[in-house]
């Protein structure tokens, strides 16, 4: 009997050890380091209390970075979550049954390509001289909008976001397709009897029925927006100026270029807090 | 069957263990050697050097770590802070290397320079100078990178143009090129160092090397001189002659436009010469023109040596130094030039037999030069070059004025001075 009580703990032990060593311990350690000023090269570590945090909120690059993360999040939510849901509903519609398999793979492929490769691909698309985007704009008579997409402060970050949407939408669409397939057909049949049109079916049956999946998709998209790094790093490196800096690229800069590990830890703490807050908020909203 | 699988698994594992640790098992001395060239032709040279050195010193084993630029920058900090730092590590010069010296990570090599004057005299002095801190040598330079203005001779001949010696001539030549449908100047500033290197040269030409050096130094830099604003204004003057959207064009794209004959002039590094060697047009180089109103000596080159330092923690300083000396002997210097087509820091390594006349021309400038203007982004502290480089991008985009940028740099310099005092 006694053994049987202990057994479950034994089962969770490996997981517990891994999570503690690789997640909880570093988080606590990171919090600790964020109160220090230190460089990886020097031995001295100076305790500076909250000065890293104070500095952070007076730092205009940090403000730009956090703003960019939020812009990324809002756009991603609209396109990736809402857009993907609509897309999934369309794919699951009878009209598209025949080609939906093909389209699903098409939309999913970007997720499978390495982000470095995608970055390179989009660098070509955005290239001012030979870029596909400028060519297309020229062809459809919008040549006056052609520009060096990654070189202007006002177009660089939107271009990065656009690539993120291209990569992410297909994945979320797949999640929704699976969720929609699980909705009992009876509901739709009943709706037809009641005289619902397609939009009404979507709004009153599909949307409420995929609530759980929406929760997952929202969390996934938001955390991806908050942690976005490679997209920016590959396409713009945070430039021009600081216009496309996000929290993680700024963290990288502080840690590995400026050698300010304490400050980088502080930024990491902020990212952590924001993500946790988002999670709690969503958990509350969706549990109601 | 099951037993067979298990036995072979165990065998495999123990074998791999043996393979992994075999060098340490019978070598008495192991040198960890970190450089930044996993790519050919440089990788080949270092592999060759290691093999040749091992022939003379059979008791020495090498563990070579090769990491490319960006990874290197990240890895070096972690490795040097660890308990087993690499014995020999690559570094750039300027503040980038000085911080290793200041933090007591790099070994003082002045002893070896004094002991073996035969070897030391064989290295071009101007390339050792940037590795010197408070009159002591802390590193051994292996290569020299010089930024020259490259130009397309065919285009220049077609339009009957002379290479410019002065700023006004540069503007004049650029105008003519532009009127004839060419892009006069290349500037691919997507990774922001390229614009910063234009400014490196301009700062030196306008203000003179002494002023510039004082301001690049983290203890004394205040960037109060108006010349810094002037240098940025001159960069602004060049914008109409550059390719469109400089911040959207990468260095590689800029180079291809030069190779394709779209761009008539670009600032090309000697280390990049191999990339343009297949160009179908004839090309040449000239030193960046003189700014007549400026205080700077027009013969000063913009460039920097790159080389190696030895960790203070090393157990075998003698062998590490022996290896660095070995790589910079006249024979190995020649080998370096043959294998890589890049300027060696060893005297006489670049000569008519193994290099193009162009390279020989450049090396003459290097040997003549008393000093050089080192890249802005390695000469200064990250706290300075980050706002500076970001600002230069914004100047090229016409989003900020030179005054605004220098205001920010001054502010950063003030903060840095306070911090390091």
Please say which residue of B345, B364, B383 terminates a domain.
B364
Q: Is residue B320 part of a domain?
A: yes
- Give start and end residues of each alpha helix (H) in A127-253: 132-139, 153-181, 185-193, 198-201, 207-209, 211-227, 230-235, 247-252
**Residue B2 in domain:** no
Kindly state whether residues B243 and B378 are assigned to the same domain: yes
Which residues of chain B make contact with A262, given a CB cutoff of 8 A? none
Domain end point (choices B321, B341, B364): B364
Closest CA in chain A for residue B106:
A41
ipTM: 0.84
Structure tokens at B413: 């310099």
What's the CATH code of the domain at A225? 1.10.3720.10
- Judge contact between A34 and A266, C-beta under 8 A: yes
> What pLDDT does residue A250 have?
94
Radius of gyration of chain B (CA): 24
Are B294 and B315 contained in the same domain?
Answer: no
Residues 6 or more apart whose CB falls under 8 angstroms from that of A182 comprise none
B228 in the same domain as B167: yes
Q: Is residue A110 part of a domain?
A: yes
Interface contacts (A, B; CB < 8 Å): 90
Contact, B393 vs A241, CB < 8 A? yes
Query: Is B8 domain-assigned?
Result: no
In a domain, B16, yes or no: no
Contact check, Cβ <8 Å, B245/A257: no
Cα dihedral value B50, B52, B57, B58, nearest 10: 90
Q: Mean pLDDT throughout B402-418?
A: 94
B103 → closest Cβ in A42, A242, A253:
A42
Question: Are residues B74 and B153 located together in one domain of the fold?
Answer: no
In a domain, B200, yes or no: yes
> Are B139 and B150 part of one and the same domain?
no
Residue A133's domain spans which residues? 61-287
Number of domains in chain B: 2
Question: Which of these, B242, B195, B201, lies nearest to B393 by C-alpha position?
Answer: B195
Strand partners, B65: B34
From the list B155, B161, B162, the residue with the least C-alpha distance to B262 is B155
Alpha carbons A4 and A73: distance in angstroms, whole number: 47
**Strand B183-185 to B136-137 pairing:** unpaired
Structural domain boundaries enclosing B317: 22-143+304-364
Return the pLDDT at B25: 45
Any idea what DSSP says for residue B265? E
CATH number for position B236: 3.40.190.10
B306-315 pLDDT, tens digit each: 999 999 989 9
Nearest chain B Cα distance for residue A50, angstroms:
17
Classify residue B334: in a domain, yes or no. Answer: yes
| B399 shares its domain with B413 | yes
Half-sphere exposure in the Cβ direction for A209 (13 Å, CA): 20
Residues B150 and B138 in one domain: no
Angle, helices A115-126 vs A153-181, to 10°: value is 130
Q: Cα(B303)–Cα(B145) distance, rounded to whole angstroms?
A: 5
Domain-located, residue A162: yes
Backbone angles phi, psi at B335, to 5 degrees: -60, -45
pLDDT by 10s per residue, chain A, length 288: 567 788 889 999 999 999 999 999 999 999 999 999 988 877 778 888 899 999 999 999 999 999 999 999 999 999 999 999 999 999 988 888 888 889 999 999 999 999 989 999 999 999 988 889 999 999 998 888 888 899 999 999 999 999 999 999 999 999 999 999 999 999 999 998 988 888 999 999 999 999 889 988 998 999 899 999 999 999 998 889 999 999 999 999 898 888 889 999 999 999 999 989 988 888 888 776
Please name the residue that has the structure tokens 């022939």: B55
* DSSP 8-state secondary structure symbol assigned to residue A24: I
B1: in domain = no
* Longest CA pairwise span in chain B (Å): 87
Instruction: Check CB contact under 8 Å for A240 and B80.
Output: no
Say whether both B298 and B308 belong to one domain.
Answer: no
Residues of B in contact with A259 (CB under 8 A): 77, 99, 382
Number of separate domains in chain A = 1
**Domain identity same for B260 and B163:** yes
Q: What gap in Å lies between CA A143 and CA A128, rounded to an integer? A: 12
Which single residue is written with the structure tokens 């090599």? B109
Residues 6+ apart with CB under 8 A from B88: B31, B32, B33, B34, B308, B309, B310, B311, B314, B320, B323, B324
B277 CB within 8 Å of a chain A CB: no
């Amino acid at each position: 009997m006694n053994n049987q009580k202990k057994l479950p703990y034994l089962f969770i032990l490996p997981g517990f050890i891994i999570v503690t060593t690789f997640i909880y311990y570093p988080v606590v350690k990171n919090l600790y380091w964020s109160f220090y000023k230190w460089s990886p090269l020097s031995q001295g570590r100076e305790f500076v209390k909250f000065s890293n945090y104070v500095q952070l909120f007076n730092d205009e690059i940090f403000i730009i970075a956090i703003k960019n993360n939020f812009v990324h999040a809002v756009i991603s939510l609209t396109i990736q979550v809402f857009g993907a849901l609509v897309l999934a509903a369309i794919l699951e519609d009878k009209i598209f049954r025949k080609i939906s398999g093909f389209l699903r793979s098409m939309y999913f492929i970007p997720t499978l390509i390495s982000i470095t490769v995608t970055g390179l691909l989009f660098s070509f698309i955005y290239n001012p001289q030979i870029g596909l985007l400028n060519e297309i704009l020229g062809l459809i008579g919008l040549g006056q909008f052609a520009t060096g997409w990654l070189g202007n402060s006002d177009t660089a970050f939107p271009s990065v976001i656009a690539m993120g949407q291209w990569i992410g939408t297909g994945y979320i669409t797949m999640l929704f397709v699976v969720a929609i397939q699980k909705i009992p057909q009876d509901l739709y049949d009943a709706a037809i009897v009641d005289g619902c049109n397609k939009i009404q079916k979507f709004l009153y049956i599909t949307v409420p029925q995929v609530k759980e999946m929406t929760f997952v998709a929202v969390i996934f998209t938001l955390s991806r927006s908050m942690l976005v790094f490679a997209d920016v790093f590959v396409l713009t490196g945070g430039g021009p100026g600081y216009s496309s800096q996000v929290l993680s690229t700024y963290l990288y800069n502080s840690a590995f270029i400026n050698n300010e590990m304490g400050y980088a830890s502080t930024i990491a703490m902020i990212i952590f807090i924001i993500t946790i807050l988002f999670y709690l908020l969503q958990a509350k909203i969706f549990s109601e | 069957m099951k037993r067979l699988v298990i036995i072979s698994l165990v065998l495999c594992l123990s074998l791999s263990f043996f393979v992994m640790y075999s060098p340490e098992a019978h070598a008495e001395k192991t040198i960890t050697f970190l450089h930044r060239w996993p790519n050919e032709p440089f990788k080949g040279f270092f592999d060759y050097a290691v093999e040749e050195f091992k022939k003379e010193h059979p008791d020495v084993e090498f563990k070579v770590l090769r990491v490319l630029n960006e990874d290197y920058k990240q890895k070096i900090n972690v490795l040097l802070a660890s308990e087993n730092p690499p014995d020999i590590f690559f570094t750039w010069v300027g503040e980038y290397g000085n911080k290793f010296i200041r933090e007591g990570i790099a070994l003082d090599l002045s002893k070896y320079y004094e002991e073996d004057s035969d070897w030391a005299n064989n290295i071009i002095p101007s390339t050792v100078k940037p590795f010197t801190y408070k009159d002591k040598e802390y590193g051994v330079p292996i290569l020299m990178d010089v930024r020259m203005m490259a130009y397309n001779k065919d285009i220049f001949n077609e339009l009957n143009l002379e290479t410019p010696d002065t700023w006004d001539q540069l503007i004049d030549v650029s105008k003519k090129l532009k009127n004839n449908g060419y892009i006069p100047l290349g500037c691919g500033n997507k990774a922001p160092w390229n614009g910063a290197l234009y400014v490196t040269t301009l700062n030196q030409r306008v203000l003179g090397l002494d002023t510039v050096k004082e301001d690049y130094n983290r203890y004394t830099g205040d960037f109060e001189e108006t010349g810094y604003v002037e240098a940025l204004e001159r960069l602004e003057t060049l914008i109409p002659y550059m390719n469109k959207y400089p911040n959207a064009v990468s260095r590689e794209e800029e180079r291809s436009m030069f190779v394709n004959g779209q761009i008539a002039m670009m600032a090309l590094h000697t280390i990049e010469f191999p990339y343009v060697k297949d160009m179908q047009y004839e090309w040449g180089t000239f030193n960046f023109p003189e700014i007549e109103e400026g205080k700077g000596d027009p013969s000063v080159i913009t460039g920097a040596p790159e080389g190696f330092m030895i960790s203070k923690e090393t157990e075998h300083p003698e062998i590490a130094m022996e290896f660095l000396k070995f790589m910079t002997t006249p024979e190995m210097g020649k080998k370096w030039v043959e294998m890589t087509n890049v300027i060696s820091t060893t005297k006489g390594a670049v000569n008519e037999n193994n290099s193009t006349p162009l390279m020989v021309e450049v090396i003459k400038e290097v040997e003549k030069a008393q000093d050089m203007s080192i890249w802005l982004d390695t000469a200064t502290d990250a706290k300075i070059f980050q706002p500076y480089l970001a600002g230069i991008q914004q100047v090229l985009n016409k989003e900020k004025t030179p005054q605004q940028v220098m205001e920010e740099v001054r502010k950063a310099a003030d903060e840095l001075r306070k911090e390091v005092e």
